[in-house]
Amino acid sequence: VAPAGERTAPLPLSCYTFPAHRDRAAAFLREAAAIIRYYERLFGPYPYEKLAVVEIPLFPGGYGTTSFVMLIDESFAERRLDREFLAHEIAHQWWGNSVFPQGLGAAWLSEAFANYSAWIYGAAAGGNPRVLTRRVARAAAVFFKEAAAEGEEAILETDVYRPVGARDAVLYEKGAVVLHMLRREMGDAAFFRLLREFADRHRHGKAAIADFQRLAGEAAGRDLDWFFAQWLGRTGGMALTYSFRNAPEGNRVRLRVSQPAPAYRADVGVLVELEGSAGEVREHRIRLRTGQDEVDLPVAGRVRSVVLDPDGDLLMKPPRWLDEGA
């Protein structure tokens, strides 16, 4: 990888495969170089002097240790390179190796960060932001299903030496969705400034979730402790029930959203579809704060349907609609 940004020397990349997969090495090297260029723009210089991509015959499947990543032989046998898998393992050079996580919940700082890095790389490489929203929605579905089947604990309670319930879904899937929600809460500029600052400040050092939380508040310029408390300190995710009623004058609709206590605090996109053949659709944004939120939205006709969080940005079960006879 050619010098870029603050890295002044070329970065040597190498790929070690079994003889049967020698012809796959070029594709892995090309993709690895693209991944590193992308991460360097976001997270700062690659933290080591080289990167080797190594095919291995056995468990653990994928592992990103200092300056090299090991990938199971199956991934070299597949015709299509598993971009997310490779991008996840390379992301560990920043998250897990250079910034070494500490304390309870520490795996969130490596696994969720590596996963979300791989998701955004996948969306950028695919040139399609829908890749990211689909991935977030899939992660939320996997998390709710596995947590219901196997039990779970809060991200802040997870201990690498004591796996509980659906721990992988909690760290990899919910954990990465939490980062996505933090990005939506802070805005792209502040969020990526935060990741860059976190990588810089703890480069070749240790960091705990509290360090990241403090930096997040600084990058956002406001308190975000509530965000970390509700998303890392609690199990589960949001479960909304909603209803709506058209005003007699037909120029506004009253939307009611309720959730079990303690209520999650979130800003939620709302898609409002009007009656009539045109089926006009408007997007609004509402704030949920109390568990029983009511808001009047201006509309230009009778409302036929309302969709909460149409982009699927939140860790939320499918919302339940209560028919008010609207």
Report the interface residues with Zn ion, using CB under 5 A: 111, 114
Which residues does 53 contact at the CB level (< 8 Å), separation at least 6? 13, 14, 15, 16, 28, 29, 32, 68, 69, 71, 86
Pairwise CA distance, residues 21 & 54, whole Å: 11
The residues with which 284 forms a beta bridge, in sequence order, are 270
72 vs 270 by CB, closer to Zn ion: 72
Least distance CB 88 / Zn ion (angstroms): 6
Least distance CB 12 / Zn ion (angstroms): 23
Least distance CB 62 / Zn ion (angstroms): 7
Least distance CB 244 / Zn ion (angstroms): 42
Pairwise CA distance, residues 167 & 157, whole Å: 10
160 vs 297 by CB, closer to Zn ion: 160
Pairwise CA distance, residues 253 & 280, whole Å: 14
- Is 43 in a helix, a strand, or coil? helix
87 vs 224 by CB, closer to Zn ion: 87
136 vs 176 by CB, closer to Zn ion: 176
Query: Cβ-closest residue to Zn ion?
Result: 114
99 vs 224 by CB, closer to Zn ion: 99
Pairing of strands 99-102, 205-208: parallel
111 vs 309 by CB, closer to Zn ion: 111
Nearest by Cα to 113 from 83, 137, 88 = 88
Nearest by Cα to 29 from 19, 42, 38, 16 = 16
13 vs 160 by CB, closer to Zn ion: 160
Least distance CB 286 / Zn ion (angstroms): 36
Tell me if 253 sits within 8 A of 268, measured CB to CB: no
Least distance CB 181 / Zn ion (angstroms): 20
The token pair at 8 is: 């002044």
Least distance CB 118 / Zn ion (angstroms): 9
Distances (CA, A) of 206 to 95, 99, 102, 182: 11, 6, 6, 22
Q: In terms of C-beta density within 10 A (0-12 exposed, 13-18 middle, 19 or more buried), how is residue 186 classed? A: buried
**SS3 per-residue string spanning 97-116:** CCEEEECCCHHHHHHHHHHH
Sheet containing strand 281-288, edge to edge, reads 281-288, 266-274, 303-308
Pairing of strands 241-246, 281-288: unpaired
15 vs 114 by CB, closer to Zn ion: 114
Least distance CB 172 / Zn ion (angstroms): 8
43 vs 244 by CB, closer to Zn ion: 43
Least distance CB 169 / Zn ion (angstroms): 14
